A and B are shown apart, each in its own frame.
Chain A
Amino acid sequence: MNIKHVILRIARTVTALTAAALLPGSVAAQALNAEITKDHPRVKQVMSVQKELTPGLMSMPEILGTAVGQDDDGEITLVVFVNAEASNHGEVMRALPRGIKGVRVSAQLTDRFRAVASKPAGGGKPVPPVSHMAKQTPPIQLGTSGGWGNDFNLTKGYCCGGTLGSLIQVNGVQYILSNYHVFESDIVNGGNGIVATTLDNIIQPGLIDVNCTAASAQNVARLVKVSSLPDNNVDCSVAQVISGMVRADGAILEIGTISVTTAAASINKAVKKSGRTSKLTRSKIIGLNAIINIAYDNECVGGAAFTKTFAGQIVISNSRSSFLAGGDSGSLMVEDVTTNPRAIGLLYAGSSTTAIANPIGEVLTFLGGKLGGTASMVGK
């Protein structure tokens, strides 16, 4: 039978049953300014029609549900949810009447409704959302909040932090990879009386996520100063892992393990990253070979240290900071594939429109030279 005929037949049946229950229009008009709750006269009117109409409509596989809503004109409406996956959803949308006995009908296309925290097949606990800022039980995964254990400025009343982005290895020794400005850019005594030094603690989470109290974090690695800036073309730093504190497979939150091989950047390539602030995000590469001026401070919320002009950088779309935000510095940018993605760049800077990454090959070459071996990503 034709869908339109089915719906009209249901509508006529409802009309006959509910006509006596509907309130006069004048009462509805006076009540419109009252608070819109289930006790509102107009809402009750629509609910009455909904009650009668819904069983018949829900017998149709194309209809997923009904509700009482309010349209853009402020009119209380009967909302009918039409299955967007139904092959004849267009026909159903057109067949639904615009009104039934003075009640406006609003048809809405929707995907199937699903429980948000669903049980995995075979049973099990619902999966909570992943926190990139919380203190993890060791061995920790990367893509998490972390930083230099002394990254604070008492004078200004701030502490700083970033992301422990990924794991590399040189001569069999594993190191957490992040940025120079996350691990070792404190080069003046200034607001905390110290400068970053090799063997300093690298903590997880970073000070910004433990109320600036290092004792509330855990030591996961020891800084190995490589002084990539201002003289080199990479903003990177490393810390040698403390045994047992970091996942030896280099797993990154919401990404998992990555490939040991790396990939070159190309325009339009889909990428993703896992970082402290915006967690797992996706974007695409929009530019190559960038020359960019970036100003660096001499400590957390410190004075100007130097302006570095980088060359050959990767440019990534970052509309409204949706891909990379403050605190994501140090995140590893990988290709957007499901299994063991290859690293492409080390993220370190940006604005509310644009994110910037060092090509990973340059990062690994620099670090290998500093650490006396060949540097590679830890992965599969």
Chain B
Amino acid sequence: MKKGCHLRLRLLAIPIGLVCLMVLAGCQRPMNSANSPDSRRDINAVLRDYDRELMAIPDVVGVYVGLLEDGKTPCLKVMAARKTPQLERQVPKSLEGYPVLVEETGVIRPLRQP
């Protein structure tokens, strides 16, 4: 009787464990997940979720939704005061399936004239 109970418990533990893993996977957002275009979230929502992390990287002055050089593929752009190797290492290459590009814009300033 005890053996049967243990076996049932073990069998039950496996799907419970799988469910836990699936829940955890859903809660985490891997920085370089390769989502297919069809399953991706709206790019503006993705930017909203990651903008603070990106803006916290030293020398990052801004982030925005843009297009790749092909003029049609949406991407996230990171504006950098200086494009340093350290900065490029810290910025992910993609976020939830959207390419992330770093561009050296320099510091953005108000443009009145002294």
Q: How far is the CB of B59 from chain A (nearest CB, A)?
A: 11
Q: Are B106 and A293 in contact (CB under 8 A)?
A: no
For B67, give its contact among A267, A327, A348 (CB under 8 Å). A267
Interface residues of B in 84-105 (CB under 8 A from A): 103-105
Number of interface residues of B (CB under 8 A): 26
Known: A351-B105, A353-B104, A354-B105. A290 touches B64 (CB 8 A): yes
- Contact: A179 with B112, CB < 8 Å? yes
A328 to B111 CA separation, bound complex (whole angstroms): 6
Contact A160 B112 (CB under 8 A): yes
How many Å lie between the Cα of A171 and that of B101 in the bound state? Answer: 46
The answer for the CA separation of A147 and B62 in the assembled complex, in Å, is 28
Contact in complex: A290, B62 (CB < 8 Å): yes
A162 touching B112, Cβ below 8 Å:
yes
Asked if A140 is at the interface (CB within 8 A of a chain B CB), the reply is no
Residues B114 and A287 in contact, CB atoms below 8 Å apart: no
In the complex, the chain B residue whose C-beta lies closest to that of A277 is: B113
- A162 to chain B: which residues have CB within 8 Å? 111-113
Contact residues in B for A158 (Cβ distance below 8 Å): 114
Interface size of A by CB at 8 A reads 48
* Residues of chain A within 8 A of B66, CB atoms compared: 267, 286-288, 315
Q: Does A263 interact with chain B (Cβ within 8 Å)?
A: no
Q: List the B residue with the shortest CB-CB distance to A161.
A: B113
In the assembled complex, how far is the CB of residue A8 from the closest CB belonging to chain B, in whole angstroms? Answer: 47
- Are A291 and B108 interface neighbours, CB within 8 A? no
- Alpha-carbon distance A235/B109, docked complex (angstroms): 12
In the bound complex, do residue A291 and residue B113 qualify as a contact, i.e. CB atoms below 8 Å apart? no
Q: Does A117 contact B (CB under 8 A)?
A: no
Which residue in B77, B104, B106, B108 is a CB contact (below 8 Å) of A294?
Answer: B108
Asked if residues A352 and B106 are in contact (CB atoms below 8 Å), the reply is yes
Pick the contact of A287: B77, B107, B111 (CB < 8 A).
B77
Cβ proximity bits A290-315 to B, threshold 8 Å, 1 near / 0 not: 11111110001100000001000101
Report A192 CB to chain B, min CB distance, Å.
13
In the bound complex, CA of A208 to CA of B63 (Å): 33
Contacts A292-B61, A292-B62: A353 and B110 contacting too (C-beta < 8 A)?
no
Q: Is A210 positioned at the interface, with any CB of B under 8 Å from its CB?
A: no
- Complex alpha-carbon distance, A268 and B65, angstroms: 12
Contact residues in B for A326 (Cβ distance below 8 Å): 111-114
CA of A373 to CA of B102, assembled, Å: 42
Known contacts A289-B47, A292-B79, A181 near B110 by CB under 8 Å = yes
Tell me the complex Cα distance, A242–B1, Å: 97
- Are A288 and B112 neighbours in the complex by a CB distance under 8 Å? no
- Contacting residues, chain B, for A300 (C-beta < 8 A): 114
| Interface membership of chain B positions 37-52, coded 1 if the CB is closer than 8 angstroms to chain A and 0 otherwise | 0000000100100010
Q: Is the CB of B108 within 8 A of A351?
A: yes
A-B contact pairs, 5 of them (CB 8 A): A290-B62, A292-B108, A301-B114, A329-B113, A349-B108
Give A residues with C-beta under 8 Å from B: 147, 158-162, 179, 181-182, 206, 208, 235, 267-268, 276-277, 286-296, 300-301, 309, 313, 315, 324-330, 347-354, 356
Q: Besides the contacts A161-B112, A290-B62, A326-B113, what 8 more A-B pairs have beta carbons closer than 8 Å? A: A160-B114, A267-B67, A293-B108, A301-B114, A326-B114, A328-B111, A348-B110, A356-B108
Question: 5 smallest A-B Cβ distances: which pairs?
Answer: A327-B113, A290-B64, A292-B62, A287-B64, A351-B106
